[in-house]
């Protein structure tokens, strides 16, 4: 079940994304598909809340989009699509709650864009809507994946950071200022953390090694003196 703070945050993000989707993105007149900000919001929240939360948020967001003007498709069609996508994306939630690499979430975005387009077109064919076939399914798949992939680094990490902060997640503080930033999310694609490299370099400094050696030598010397004292004491007895 979703907590109250999750419901409030998810509702605000979904409504904001839907308004931007209708008023801005849908009017860009881009070739092929339209960048799906609503889908990216569902993905970002699903990667934090898990498969159950992702499915519920996806269903609510899709149902809101089905009734929002100028929707011209059957009610419940996009709700089904985002419910399935949110559930599957929630299965990819990191076990530690923090992203180690940007490769996994990027693959999730591409798979969700392609899967949502295919599922939406498939449900449309079942209800007698073949608009996707007239436009060209291949072009829709390519442009949907491309637009969402370009938009994802600037939206998904911010959404995940807000979701973690709303739950007072300690991972939000350790990730640097309340969650993932776009630059941090993109820079993790190399798979190597600069903080880890810095720690390793400090451990390899000659001065530090010398201090560690001297500390070990002093400890061994004190141990030897104590043992000698005990032996002399036994001899005097």
**Residues 14-51: pLDDT tens digits?**
999 999 999 999 888 888 888 999 999 999 999 999 99
- pTM score, whole prediction: 0.70
Distances (CA, A) of 197 to 5, 101, 203: 37, 16, 10
Please report the pLDDT score of residue 132 as a whole number.
Answer: 62
Contact 55, 88 (CB under 8 A): no
Dig out the tokens for 107 from the structure. 């693959």
Low-confidence winner among 57-61, 124-128, 155-159, 215-219 (lowest mean pLDDT): 215-219
Q: Is 140 helix (H, G, I), strand (E, B) or coil?
A: helix
Q: Is 30 helix (H, G, I), strand (E, B) or coil?
A: coil
Please report the pLDDT score of residue 20 as a whole number.
Answer: 94
**Residues 222-236: pLDDT tens digits?**
555 444 444 344 333
Please report the pLDDT score of residue 134 as a whole number.
Answer: 66
Residue 136 region, left (φ>0) first, then alpha (ψ -120 to 50), else beta? Answer: left
- The whole-angstrom separation of Cα 165 and Cα 160 is 9
Dig out the tokens for 48 from the structure. 């934090």
- The whole-angstrom separation of Cα 89 and Cα 79 is 15
**Residues 52-94: pLDDT tens digits?**
999 999 999 999 998 888 777 778 889 999 999 999 999 988 7
Contact 67, 75 (CB under 8 A): yes
**Residues 162-197: pLDDT tens digits?**
998 887 655 554 443 344 555 555 554 444 334 443
Neighbours of 190 (CB within 10 A): 11
The confidence band for 156, taking pLDDT boundaries of 50, 70 and 90, is very high
Dig out the tokens for 230 from the structure. 């005990």
């Amino acid at each position: 079940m979703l907590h109250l703070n999750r419901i409030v945050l998810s509702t605000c993000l979904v409504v904001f994304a839907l308004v931007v989707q209708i008023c801005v993105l849908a009017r860009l007149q881009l070739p092929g598909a339209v960048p799906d900000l609503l889908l990216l919001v569902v993905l970002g929240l699903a990667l934090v809340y898990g498969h159950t939360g992702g499915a519920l948020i996806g269903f609510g967001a899709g149902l809101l989009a089905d009734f929002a003007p100028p929707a011209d498709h059957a009610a419940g069609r996009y709700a089904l699509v985002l419910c399935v996508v949110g559930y599957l994306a929630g299965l990819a939630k990191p076990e530690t709650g923090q992203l180690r690499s940007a490769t996994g979430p990027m693959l999730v975005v591409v798979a969700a864009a392609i899967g949502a387009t295919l599922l939406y077109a498939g449900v449309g064919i079942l209800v007698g809507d073949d608009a996707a076939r007239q436009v060209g399914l291949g072009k829709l798949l390519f442009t949907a994946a491309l637009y969402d992939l370009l938009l994802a680094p600037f939206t998904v990490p911010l959404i995940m950071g807000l979701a973690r902060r709303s739950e007072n997640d300690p991972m939000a503080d350790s990730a640097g200022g309340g969650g993932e930033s776009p630059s941090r999310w993109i820079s993790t694609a190399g798979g190597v953390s600069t903080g880890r490299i810095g720690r390793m370099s400090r451990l390899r400094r000659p001065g530090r090694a010398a201090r560690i050696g001297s500390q070990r030598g002093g400890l061994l010397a004190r141990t030897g003196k104590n043992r000698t004292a005990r032996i002399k004491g036994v001899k005097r007895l």
